[in-house]
Amino acid sequence: MSLEQREREFHFSDSDFHELVGIVGKRTGIKLAEHKRSMVYSRLARRLRALGFTQFRQYIQLITAPEGEGEITDFVNAITTNLTKFFREEHHFTHLRDRVLKPLAAHPPLGKRVRMWSAGCSSGMECYSMAMTAQEAIPDIERWDFKILATDIDTNMLKKGQEGIYRKEDAEAVPPEYRKKYLVRHGGAKADEVQVIDKLRALSSFKYLNFISEPWPVKGLFDVIFCRNVVIYFDKETQRRLFAKFAEMLKPQGWLYIGHSENLMGVSDSFESLGKTVYRKIA
């Protein structure tokens, strides 16, 4: 037994880890590598404490039994990764403003209908970065049929996104001119939190979505889809299925933005690359 294992609060065997990896994969499509072992332990140890368990075997027995179905949401919330920030990969938002939304503002589509999707929205910072960008590009956006769908598998993150409340230090990534217009102090003059203004929150709709569930409770067609740093957790076959569905849900010539460590080579031939992790659906 290693020193790390002896110092752990709960016994966590190789069998426990691999069984949990299998359950995560079956439930979410996420593939956890060996180096995620410590992460799995630390995140699920909180659930063991909350439930009064003394070993991981008890927890595995719970989530694999019919009566443990109610714990699955907390299990998935604990395992999923939610690294995000406002205006992450800023070049995407510059492109969205200048190459997508400003041209739409100059030549509005029928009914001024525009739909964007933040797929894997985490706590909502990506969605609201899209909303701020849209408001800047389309000043009279309240007169448009404009909506942003934000989806995630983590219900805790969806709730945070709906509230639109963030720490001041998180808001430092928002351009200063945007902070003044789109964020307000939350909780009083001395509070260390800010909230996205109602006008932008009204543009955004947060919904639960597990990518491997069928059918998706999502209706297209979308002008823009952001799915960034999400598919890196899936195997190639799952990635192929996901991007095939994204292609189906995008308008002809619709835009797709993916993460900096992702690419569509060998995954999808439905898109053409038009820049750094920026793709357009081939009509």
Instruction: Give 86-107 pLDDT, tens digit per residue.
Output: 999 999 999 999 999 999 999 9
Q: What per-residue string of b and e applies to 147-173 under the rule 16 or more CB within 10 Å gives b?
A: ebbbbbbbeebbebbeebbbeeebbee
Q: Is 198 a catalytic site residue?
A: no
Show the CA angle centred on residue 164, arms to residues 198 and 145, nearest 5°: 45
Per-residue pLDDT, 159: 97
Per-residue pLDDT, 214: 83
Measured in degrees and rounded to the nearest 5, phi and psi for residue 116 equal -125, 155
Per-residue pLDDT, 283: 76
Q: How are beta strands 250-258 and 222-227 bridged, if at all?
A: parallel
CB atoms within 10 A of CB 254: 23
Instruction: Give 69-87 pLDDT, tens digit per residue.
Output: 999 999 999 998 778 999 9
Confidence grade of residue 140 (pLDDT, cut at 50, 70, 90): very high
Instruction: Give 200-223 pLDDT, tens digit per residue.
Output: 999 999 999 999 988 888 887 999
Per-residue pLDDT, 190: 63
Q: Is 152 a catalytic site residue?
A: yes
Q: Is the pLDDT of residue 1 over 70?
A: no
Which member of 27, 43, 57, 240 is catalytic? 43
Rounded to whole angstroms, the Cα distance separating 282 from 92 reads: 19
Write down the mean pLDDT value for the chain. 93
End-to-end CA distance of the chain: 58
Rounded to whole angstroms, the Cα distance separating 118 from 124 reads: 9
Rounded to whole angstroms, the Cα distance separating 231 from 243 reads: 9
Query: Quick one: average pLDDT of 231-260?
Result: 94
Match 């190789």 to its residue by tokens.
14
Per-residue pLDDT, 170: 95
Rounded to whole angstroms, the Cα distance separating 232 from 31 reads: 9
The domains found in the chain, sorted by start residue, are 3-79 (1.10.155.10), 90-281 (3.40.50.150)
Q: Is the pLDDT of residue 180 over 50?
A: yes
Which member of 16, 152, 154, 223 is catalytic? 152
